[in-house]
Amino acid sequence: MAINPQVVASVREELTHSGFGAGSAALLGGRCSAHSDLETTLSSLLGFESALIFSSGYLANLGALSSLLTKKDKVFHDRLNHASLIDGVLSAGCNHRRYPHLGHPVLQSNTPVEKIAIVTESIFSMDGDVADINTLESISRENQVLLYIDDAHGFGVINNGLGATGSINAKHCPENLIIMITLGKALGSFGGVILSSDKVREYLINYCRTFIYDTAIPPVAATAASEALSILINDGKPYHQLQKNIKYFKSLATKAGVDTKDSNSPIQPILFDSEEQAIKKEQQLRKNGFYVKAIRPPTVPAGTSRLRIVLSALHTFSQLDKLVDVLSLEKE
């Protein structure tokens, strides 16, 4: 979406109207109608009472979790959660337990707690696999605990573009559900958004330090995201082309003997036995015209160095053919 002609045109028009920078924090005049219009559209589309824009997904997770949780609470979070979720939980100083990746937490506490929260990603950023959102939502609803979902890599690319909310069987999302989406992935802009109840939004506005003391995103970023969102809502072609590309790549990789993980998302990791092997394959790909980064510890666990391939709707089948050809080559 970042280079979509409609998105670029909307940015040009907004630049002539409001310039580039926001100029100040949101509470001191850094917001305008572009921000509120985007929040209204997102909350309505995804079934939430409200939405609140942050300057990044990292700051949204860090600020929301650290302000909503206290030392008297307990958090159950997936072992492979993103660093921003881990940092948010740790900064709250609460009791916490990491449950097995893609598993379901057993909500037990040996000490009295004020509230319990489950924290997870939807699509995991380094493995591309998908959490069982339906089951986690059922557990949170039955036990009346908070469910916090980082949907950075899910929104726009799964469940017909609705991301994690498309997995939840409810017309209106429950009050104990909070979802964070980013504007910089599927929508091609930048920023993060917390989707929640009106009550939670009001609390964050007054107590979340990463919102209060941070400069708002520029109006042009909000406008770009709104235009991209309109395309996502009204034009299903990019979404369906992305799904075709994912299936095509996985089919090619299987036939070529390229070992991919169990991922049906745009994130397709290919693991190597050592960091050196991953780096050499990255270099080989670069020489052949592909920009694919090798991911090494401590970003991923020791022994799981990988290439992190990210597919998009703009990739052509011929590009994917060549990519798999290079992946299947012996190291130079």
pLDDT of residue 6: 95
Determine the average pLDDT of the residues in 51-79: 97
Q: What percent of the chain has pLDDT over 90?
A: 92
Q: How confident is the model at residue 45 (pLDDT cuts 50, 70, 90)?
A: very high
For residue range 273-290, what is the model confidence (pLDDT) as tens digits?
Answer: 999 999 999 999 999 999
State residue 110's pLDDT score.
73
Q: pLDDT for 291-315, tens place per residue?
A: 999 999 999 999 999 999 999 999 9
pLDDT tens figures, 117-141:
999 999 999 999 999 999 999 999 9
Average pLDDT over residues 39-62: 96
Q: Based on the number of CB atoms within 10 Å of its own CB, is 262 exposed (0-12), middle (13-18) or buried (19 or more)?
A: exposed
What does the pLDDT look like over 165-212, one tens digit per residue? 988 866 667 889 999 999 999 999 999 999 999 999 999 999 999 999
Task: Give the single-character DSSP code of 273.
Answer: S
Peptide bond into 298 cis (omega under 30): yes
Q: What is the dihedral of CA 229, 234, 235, 238, to 10 degrees?
A: 30
pLDDT of res. 173: 74
Segment holding 210, helix H or strand E:
helix 209-212
Q: What is the pLDDT of residues 219-234, one digit of tens each?
A: 999 999 999 999 999 9
Give the DSSP per-residue string, 93-124: T-EEEEEPTT-------SS--S-EEEEEESB-
pLDDT at 259: 86
pLDDT reported for residue 169 = 63
Instruction: Check residue 170 and give its pLDDT.
Output: 60
Closest CA to 103 of 88, 116, 86, 120: 120
Tokens of 136: 């986690």
pLDDT of residue 172: 66
Tokens 């592909």 found at: 290
Q: What confidence tier does 332 reach under pLDDT thresholds 50, 70, 90?
A: very low
Name the pTM for this structure. 0.94
- Domains of the chain listed by start with CATH number: 5-235 (3.40.640.10), 237-327 (3.90.1150.10)
Of residues 110 and 124, more confidently modeled: 124
